[in-house]
Structure 1
């Protein structure tokens, strides 16, 4: 029997973080999943940790790749589950019953893409100090660690783009999915470390550019958000400018 879900972990030289992810997956009350680990050729003890836990891992490989999205596509190629979630090194499920709650949803036959809320933390300083994050599809507030979607979407819309500088291929893929097939699961799915590459400033700039290309924001909003990112409290400066020059919007 094929598994209902494929959990895929991407890791490279991150033994300490990977151990957290392994433990979180082991604790899940829902067990109808396969676990896939794609290692980029680690040399820090991660490979030894994979081998030590191979009884919990359905498929693993350790070899060089062309970056995170190449590794994600490798995991996708061997995945057998109807549903997919990427839980990478350092990511954890929000609680032990997340997957059990997900598969109790009544509308899973009607939707293809389910996104949920999340928590963030600094895994090295205090993995138990959590900060809530709230998903919003319209505003592009979606984290791939808190997304569970049907594998068949890749048959329809292709795999993740692989480019040396692009760190938002998952976001681009998400935007191709028809909104009618998208559903918000109103509870946290994952806990994620907040020091990863996707939190870097240039990642946010890429996201703004893609939002503009897909017509999610206007050119004015693109410039405004870009400048606001570089100048703290920029929105207040703009409001004060309009007030000072008696240019203000009245009801």
Structure 2
């Protein structure tokens, strides 16, 4: 019998953070899942940690890959669960009952893509100091660690794009899913380290570009958001500019 859920972890030379993820998966009260670990050929002791915990891992592989989305596709290829969540090294479930609560939802037969809220932290400084994040599909505020979706979506819309320096293939995939199949699970699903590559400034710029391509923002909004990103306190700067230079604003 196939598991209800596939939890997939991508890791490369991140033994310290990976231990948090292993512990979180192991402590979930919901047990009808398989756990898949895709290691990119670590040499820092991560592989030894995987072997030490192999009793709690249903499938693992350690070999070089072409980047995070290649590794995610490898996990997808062997996944058997109806539902999938990617919980990568350093990511944790928000609490031990998250999955139990998720599978109690009454509308899981009607939706294919469920996104939830999250917490962020800095694992190096203080793993227990959490900052809440609130999901908003319309504004593109979605984290893949707080998304649980049906595996069949990849049969319909393809796997993750593997493109050099593209770190938003998951976001591109999410936007292809019909809104009628999307549901907001109004509670935190994950806790995520905020020092990862997806928090880099260039990742934010890529996301804005995709929002523009998909028609989620206009060219004017794109320009405004890029300026706001580059100029500290841009909102105040813009208002002061209007006050000085735009006649109708002075009235």
Encode CA deviations 1:9-32: one digit per residue, 9 max, x unaligned.
Answer: 000000000000000001100000
Would you identify which runs of 4 or more consecutive aligned residues in structure 1 move more than 6 Å?
Answer: none
Encode CA deviations 1:35-84: one digit per residue, 9 max, x unaligned.
Answer: 00000000000000000000000000000000000000000000000000
State the TM-score, normalizing by the size of structure 1. Answer: 0.98
| Offset at residue 247 of structure 1 (A) | 3.1
Kept in 1: contact 2:243–2:250 (CA 8 A): no
User: Corresponding residue for 2:197?
Assistant: 197
SS of 1:160's partner is: coil
Task: Tell me how far apart the structure 2 counterparts of residues 249 and 68 of structure 1 sit (CA, whole Å).
Answer: 52
Encode CA deviations 1:93-151: one digit per residue, 9 max, x unaligned.
Answer: 00000000000000000000000000000001110000000000000000000000000
Question: Which structure 1 segments of 5+ residues have no match?
Answer: none
* 1:178-217 matched pairs, under 5 angstroms: 178-217=178-217
User: Corresponding residue for 1:16?
Assistant: 16
State the TM-score, normalizing by the size of structure 2. Answer: 0.98
Q: Alignment length, in residue pairs? A: 250
Task: Tell me how far apart the structure 2 counterparts of residues 74 and 115 of structure 1 sit (CA, whole Å).
Answer: 22
User: Corresponding residue for 1:62?
Assistant: 62
SS of 2:183's partner is: strand
Question: Which structure 2 segments of 5+ residues have no match?
Answer: none
Task: Tell me how far apart the structure 2 counterparts of residues 205 and 125 of structure 1 sit (CA, whole Å).
Answer: 27
Q: Which moved more, 1:67-76 or 1:227-236?
A: 227-236
Task: Tell me how far apart the structure 2 counterparts of residues 135 and 243 of structure 1 sit (CA, whole Å).
Answer: 35
Relative to structure 1, is the Cα distance of residues 193 and 79 closer, same or farther in structure 2, using a 3 angstrom cutoff? same
- The answer to whether structure 1 residue 44 and structure 2 residue 44 are counterparts is yes
Encode CA deviations 1:161-181: one digit per residue, 9 max, x unaligned.
Answer: 001110000000000000000
Kept in 1: contact 2:93–2:189 (CA 8 A): yes
SS of 1:114's partner is: strand
RMSD between aligned alpha carbons?
1.1
SS of 2:148's partner is: strand
